[in-house]
Amino acid sequence: MQRITILGATGSIGASTLDVLARHPDRYRVHALSAHGRVEELADACRRFKPARAVVGSLDAAERLSQLVAGLGIQVDHGEQALCEIASSPDTDTVMAAIVGAAGLAPTLAAARAGKKVLLANKEALVMSGQLFMDAVREHRATLLPIDSEHNAIFQSLPAGYERDPQAAGVAKILLTASGGPFLHRAVETLEAVTPTEACKHPNWVMGRKISVDSATMMNKGLEVIEAHWLFGAPSELIEVVIHPQSVIHSMVSYTDGSVLAQLGNPDMRTPIAHALAFPDRIASGVPQLDLTAMAALQFYRPDFNRFPCLKLAFDALGAGGTAPALLNAANEVAVQSFLECEIGFRDIDRVIAGVMDAVPHGPAPSIEAVLAQDALARGSARAIIDRLRS
């Protein structure tokens, strides 16, 4: 019986994880759940799964949750320290790290340092602090399994026991597929007028608003490039992004003998979640089997950096190294939130990020404190650029 903690239980990944867990009550028990502010949704999940602990973002939210789950015997807490406690608790075996953004860094790192089985859906943990995070995984003998559909597909397409050494495994290229988002074929000159509602209408996947905007700008793919670098030990020149609008092939690995191995499936996050939960076994996920005969065509395109400048910015940040990816991530989070609040336009997102990358010097990332200090500088710089754009 695996004991599971879900960080970010009310988001799309958290909800999909709970759906898979509910199908296998004989294999899994929920130890703890967290959410930032969706108290009613978290309370519903608590009533269904009866965790020992639940964590929310604020004292007010904790008081409301306590009232909603009174009588269930659930310990309710709030704040980052409580998140780190449930992530590292001896009463949990597996941690689903699904908190979006930099807020998920500390508890995800706490899980790794506690030697947990970490199911990584929070790509920012690797984007912001890749070397520190991978060192923690190695030193504390944690198990790290990727949940992003692309990285999970790559994991499945690599040899068993792969040790982050592409050359030793005969890997010629890691091919990250991307849907291209909702604006793949829209005229570039019209992107200035894109609204938040349009940007959040992903053609294939159901995701949160922030991740949906990242998909529309392809920053999500840029962050995944950086994540792939750390997960698989691949330099940037071995990572290629391929636009595949149908989202049936989730990613591929090209080998030196000319073979290309791919993982295919319907676009449903329950597949990689079920794979990681049960690894190395296979369990039912609730996802319908893929019908290849129903596929009219599978298309592939090279990404256009003029259409998707955020992808180029991410490759540049990976090449720069150190805290540059942390600056990129922080600037993007601020810019996307500002766009969703209608403070700036869609194409201002990449302008804000580029401005921050130019304005804030990057350096080494020897500690989490150093990373978070750079994160704070980038957020302040992004906010200043946004204020200038609005004036």
Cα dihedral 239/243/244/248 (nearest 10): 40
HSE of 210 in the Cβ direction (CA atoms, 13 Å)?
17
Residue after which a domain boundary falls, among 275, 294, 313 = 294
Residue 309 lies in a domain: no
The CATH number covering residue 341 comes to 1.10.1740.10
Check the CA dihedral 135-136-142-143 and report its sign.
Answer: negative
Instruction: For residue 231, give both structure tokens.
Output: 């997960």
Residue 28 lies in a domain: yes
Phi and psi at residue 171, to the nearest 5°: -85, 125
User: In terms of DSSP H, where are the helices of 168-218?
Assistant: 196-199, 209-217
Residue 300 lies in a domain: no
Beta bridge partners of 96: 6, 119
Check the CA dihedral 121-126-128-134 and report its sign.
Answer: positive
Residue after which a domain boundary falls, among 117, 146, 175 = 146
Check the CA dihedral 49-51-56-59 and report its sign.
Answer: positive
Residue type, 263: Q
* pLDDT on residue 184: 92
* pLDDT on residue 205: 65
Together in a domain, 134 and 174: no
Q: Determine which helix (DSSP H) or strand (DSSP E) holds 28, and give its type and residue range.
A: strand 28-34
Together in a domain, 94 and 13: yes
Together in a domain, 139 and 271: no
Together in a domain, 277 and 348: no
Instruction: For residue 103, give both structure tokens.
Output: 């807020």
State which residues of the chain have pLDDT below 50.
none
Q: Is 3 left (phi over 0), alpha (psi -120 to 50) or beta?
A: beta
Together in a domain, 137 and 189: no
Together in a domain, 82 and 34: yes
How far apart (Å, rounded) are the C-alpha atoms in residues 177 and 181?
12
Q: Per the structure, how many domains does the chain have?
A: 3
Together in a domain, 131 and 41: yes
Residue 306 lies in a domain: no
Together in a domain, 241 and 334: no
Strand order in the sheet with 260-264: 239-243, 171-178, 249-255, 260-264
DSSP 8-state symbol, 238: G
With CA atoms as reference, report the closest residue to 314 among 225, 247, 391, 209: 225
Q: Is 142 left (phi over 0), alpha (psi -120 to 50) or beta?
A: beta
With CA atoms as reference, report the closest residue to 140 among 115, 108, 163, 119: 115
Together in a domain, 163 and 234: yes
Residue 187 lies in a domain: yes
* pLDDT on residue 206: 67
Strand order in the sheet with 53-56: 75-78, 53-56, 28-34, 2-7, 94-97, 117-120, 143-146
Instruction: For residue 108, give both structure tokens.
Output: 């995800």
The CATH number covering residue 9 comes to 3.40.50.720
Residue 301 lies in a domain: no
Q: What are the angstrom distances between the C-alpha of 122 and each of 82, 203, 211, 284, 379?
A: 18, 22, 11, 24, 19
Together in a domain, 7 and 140: yes
Beta bridge partners of 252: 175, 262
Structural domain range at position 11: 2-146
Q: Using an 8 Å Cβ cutoff, are 19 and 270 in contact?
A: yes
Residue 302 lies in a domain: no
Residues 124-148 as b/e (b if ≥16 CB within 10 A, e otherwise) read bbbbbbbebbbebbeeeebebbbbb
How far apart (Å, rounded) are the C-alpha atoms in residues 303 and 167?
26
- Whether the model clears a pTM of 0.85, i.e. scores above it, the answer is yes
Q: Using an 8 Å Cβ cutoff, are 312 and 305 in contact?
A: yes
Together in a domain, 11 and 140: yes
Residue after which a domain boundary falls, among 94, 121, 146 = 146
Together in a domain, 125 and 176: no
Residue 283, SS3 per DSSP: coil
Residue 315 lies in a domain: no
Q: What are the angstrom distances between the C-alpha of 264 and each of 85, 156, 173, 240?
A: 37, 10, 18, 18
